[in-house]
Amino acid sequence: MVENQFFDADTSALMDQFPEARLTIRDRLPINLILTNAIITIQKSILNIDYSEEELREAVMGFVAMIPDDLKDQGFNDELDMARQVRPVNTRPEFCGIPARDEYCEAKGIPTQILVETFDYFKVFHACFNLLHRKKMLLKVQPKEIFTGKRARGEQPEYIPEAEETSE
């Protein structure tokens, strides 16, 4: 019998009898609640009055980091490549809040802009949702029984067969 500090003696004995009943990380972490919380955090950052692109970036990249690597597929990587952007950033020095002229920067050998690779974080968020949809983690399919024939007599009190209708 293995001593376990988290369970009492009866539970430990039961777990020794059925080793397949041991708790897994899936039983310990409610991943659906964790992902839901991450989605709500992203929505709050989008709907915030003081909208900050940095806050959105942190929230979306935190959501991407929560998705396990073995869950990510080629479609997800393709969508991330489509979300990639190259954005020019102004690097001219400022003097008293006024940016230096292009002629000054050229004379001093200072680049006026650099290209920074970043992502469109709305597209990254959409790629995450598409991934969860492809892995069937968003929708719960419930079978529905559909009756297409005629019901037996007496099954429903308001049922009156057309042949037995009497016109008075």
Whether 157 maps to a domain, the answer reads no
Give 94's strand partners: 99
Measured distance CA(44)–CA(59) in Å, rounded: 10
DSSP state of 152: P
Per-residue pLDDT for 13 more than 60? Answer: yes
Each residue's pLDDT tens digit, 29-86: 777 788 889 999 999 988 988 888 899 999 999 999 988 888 899 999 999 999 999 9
CB 73 within 8 A of CB 94: no
Look at residue 166 and tell me if it is in a domain: no
- Residue 86 counted as domain residue: yes
Q: What is the pLDDT of residues 126-135, one digit of tens each?
A: 999 999 989 8
Supply the range of the domain harboring residue 33: 29-134
Structure tokens at 154: 């007496």
108 belongs to a structural domain? yes
* Percent of the chain's residues with pLDDT above 70: 73
Residue with the larger pLDDT of the pair 99 and 2: 99
Residue 6 has pLDDT above 80, yes or no: no
Query: Which of the residue ranges 35-39, 124-128, 141-145, 161-165 would you say has the lowest mean pLDDT?
Result: 161-165
In a domain, 107, yes or no: yes
Structure pTM?
Answer: 0.60
Does residue 93 lie in a domain region?
A: yes
Residues in the chain: 168
Instruction: Please give the single-letter amino acid code of residue 32.
Output: N
Asked whether residue 46 is domain-assigned, the answer is yes
